[in-house]
Amino acid sequence: MNRFDDLLAHAATVKDRHILDLFAADPDRAARFSAEFGSWFFDFSKTNIDAAGLKLLIDLAEKTGVAARRDAMFAGEKINETEGRAVLHMAWRNFRDTITVDGHDVMPALRDTLGRMQDFAEDVRTGRFTGQGGRITDVVNIGIGGSDLGPVMASVACTSFADGPRLHFISNVDGAHAHDVLSGLNPETTLVIVASKTFTTIETMTNAETARAWMAAKVTDPAAQFSAISTATDRTAAFGIPPERVFGFEDWVGGRYSVWSPIGLSLMIGIGPGYFAEFHAGAAAMDRHFREAPLAENLPVLLALVGIWHNQVLGHATRAVLPYEQRLARLPAYLQQLEMESNGKRVSMDGADLPWHSGPVVWGEPGTNGQHAFYQLIHQGTRVVPCEFLLAARGREPYLEHQHLLLVANCLAQSEALLRGRSLAEATEIMAKKGLTGAELDRQARHRVFPGNRPSTTLLIEVLTPFTLGGIVALYEHRVFVEGVILGINSFDQWGVELGKELALALAPVLEGSSEGAGKDGSTLGLARRIRAARA
């Protein structure tokens, strides 16, 4: 007996029916299978979930203790059991509450660091803090994973609110990344922020050294234009960054959940502390909703349950995230880390093999670009890809509102096409009108059939602002948490990234030729030999 049995049995009886028939049978379906909180509206009516299925899904959330686990998380219990840590990134966006860890109120220290960040951001923005060649014109954030993706994603999303220095990001250990960013900048007016929770990550530390050397070639005191964000203040000091420009945070903020913390400093400098506070406020509003709304009206819970329905129950292994909003272009990449690093686990919390599949592969691109690239497979491929559309009703450039209308029309058209499809009879009629007949008509028509009955959801906001963005990101964070609880896994560790890191360190001497690489497989050694020869 497994926790999905009831749902699997239900799905077996309904999986072949057409979602359109659900709409025909229930004129209120769109309202019944959607939920709203403040600025965020979630429509999941274009899925094969019916009232009985939804009830089973809510029962599952109840049975697996989602509410109790959520309360334990907000209470500072050490729910990240494999690392013995609390999970309290929410503390960094809600400065009204008192939050205790190990019986100690953590909020005064957070308020103090936030205040220092705000002062520093304002100093950079207003020119009170300068580079050795004058006012700071550019800020380079050096980080990777959660110390990069959150600030990049949010700074692109908040483009129309940015009035500070230009923001740049270096993440990849490929020197081309550092080269391409730094070569366009003036070291005398650039601030470098080294963002690394651990301050040991090889990519970040290597890029930080590169940036320091780049700056040292032009300014007398490179450290004076460096700032650091880390939980490891001893290491930031060893790197030579003075404590007044070091912003610490605690180990109960996971890397992929850290954009709210000092890791968001580059964003704060770009958009200013006021808009950064709105980003926090949107997320804090979503936190309150998550804590207070009944499960059946709770947006993060509903997003998670729809995900469980598609992945664990119906067996769809991937999910496409399709923002119809150019400024959410980096959201799919951000969600890839958030969801796949959190819920891509093969054992349950107690270490036993997971008896069901882990979280889905998440991928996507902004519409309408995706339409001209991979939507072909989504519409006519043999596998079903549940699609998650994100859409803002209004754009931010009034003079381009006619373009925005076209964008919105495309988004709605795609979810309608996925739902409705085009039958062979309809395709035949269209091709017959073009003059085709006989076997050729039949052949051509078959290529133009869309099976339809393909599920999608739509998350609608009125307009993209730091506030609505904050809510979207918190919504996804909590969705990942709920899915993790239902799957019985620890969403807050990431042991799966360790092996490759260790092997990379061991391979460096093989590539340099100072080690034979004893015990390595023939493929790895053969590749290393060729690379050595090419570099000689």
Ligand X SMILES: O=P(O)(O)OC[C@H]1O[C@](O)(CO)[C@@H](O)[C@@H]1O
Q: Is 147 a residue that touches ligand X (CB under 6 A)? A: yes
Q: Is 404 a residue that touches ligand X (CB under 6 A)? A: no
- First-last CA distance in the chain: 60
Nearer to ligand X, 197 or 404 (CB): 197
Q: Could you say which DSSP state residue 230 is in?
A: E
Q: Residue count at the site for ligand X (CB under 6 A)?
A: 14
Q: Which tokens in the block code for residue 117?
A: 């960040």
Which of 191-199, 233-241, 362-370, 393-401 is the region at the interface with ligand X (rule: CB under 6 A)?
191-199
Report CA torsion sign: 414, 415, 420, 424.
Answer: positive
Taking the complex as a whole, how short is the minimal distance between the CB of residue 196 and ligand X, in angstroms?
A: 3
CB within 8 Å of 300: residues ≥ 6 apart: 286, 290, 475, 476, 477, 478, 479, 481, 482
Nearer to ligand X, 151 or 164 (CB): 151
Helices 299-308 and 51-63, axial angle in degrees (round to 10): 110
Window 67-86: residues binding ligand X (CB under 6 A): none
Cα–Cα dist 22/138, whole Å:
54
Q: Do 126 and 304 touch, CB atoms closer than 8 A?
A: no
Q: Which tokens in the block code for residue 71?
A: 């309360």
Nearer to ligand X, 53 or 248 (CB): 248
Residue 126 buriedness (CB in 10 A; 0-12 / 13-18 / 19+): exposed
Taking the complex as a whole, how short is the minimal distance between the CB of residue 144 and ligand X, in angstroms?
A: 5
Nearer to ligand X, 82 or 137 (CB): 82
Instruction: Of 245, 182, 249, give the one whose Cα is nearest residue 211.
Output: 182
Cα–Cα dist 455/457, whole Å:
7
Place of tokens 């059939």: 449
Q: Is 197 a residue that touches ligand X (CB under 6 A)? A: yes
CB within 8 Å of 315: residues ≥ 6 apart: 357
Tell me, what amino acid is at 501?
K
Taking the complex as a whole, how short is the minimal distance between the CB of residue 339 and ligand X, in angstroms?
A: 13
Place of tokens 């470098």: 192
Q: Is 202 a residue that touches ligand X (CB under 6 A)? A: no
Which of 162-170, 192-200, 319-327, 470-478 is the region at the interface with ligand X (rule: CB under 6 A)?
192-200
Which of 190-198, 305-313, 429-437, 475-483 is the region at the interface with ligand X (rule: CB under 6 A)?
190-198
Count helices and strands in the chain by DSSP H and E runs = 21, 15
Taking the complex as a whole, how short is the minimal distance between the CB of residue 90 and ligand X, in angstroms?
A: 18
- Site map 241..260 versus ligand X, x via CB under 6 A: --------------xx----
Nearer to ligand X, 141 or 415 (CB): 141
Cα–Cα dist 167/190, whole Å:
10
Q: Which tokens in the block code for residue 243?
A: 């404590």
Angle at 320 between CA 314 and CA 326, to 5 degrees: 160
Q: Is 227 a residue that touches ligand X (CB under 6 A)? A: no
Pick from 227, 342, 457, 494: which binds ligand X (CB under 6 A)?
A: 494
| Beta carbons within 10 angstroms of residue 108's beta carbon | 10
Distances (CA, A) of 211 to 129, 172, 223: 19, 13, 11
Nearer to ligand X, 49 or 205 (CB): 205
Which of 141-149, 325-333, 378-386, 409-417 is the region at the interface with ligand X (rule: CB under 6 A)?
141-149
Pick from 53, 76, 131, 146: which binds ligand X (CB under 6 A)?
A: 146
- Site map 293..332 versus ligand X, x via CB under 6 A: ----------------------------------------
Q: Which tokens in the block code for residue 297?
A: 């009206």
Q: Phi, psi (5° rounding) for residue 61?
A: -60, -40
Angle at 107 between CA 101 and CA 113, to 5 degrees: 120
Q: Which tokens in the block code for residue 305?
A: 């349950």
Nearer to ligand X, 80 or 201 (CB): 201
Q: Is 141 a residue that touches ligand X (CB under 6 A)? A: no
Q: Is 155 a residue that touches ligand X (CB under 6 A)? A: no
Taking the complex as a whole, how short is the minimal distance between the CB of residue 86 and ligand X, in angstroms?
A: 17
Taking the complex as a whole, how short is the minimal distance between the CB of residue 150 and ligand X, in angstroms?
A: 9
Taking the complex as a whole, how short is the minimal distance between the CB of residue 351 and ligand X, in angstroms?
A: 21
Nearer to ligand X, 83 or 123 (CB): 83
Q: Is 171 a residue that touches ligand X (CB under 6 A)? A: no
Which of 133-141, 195-203, 219-227, 342-350 is the region at the interface with ligand X (rule: CB under 6 A)?
195-203
Pick from 7, 11, 88, 144: which binds ligand X (CB under 6 A)?
A: 144
Provide the annotated active-site residues: 341, 372, 501
Write out the residues near ligand X by the rule CB under 6 A.
144-147, 196-198, 201, 204, 255-256, 341, 494, 497
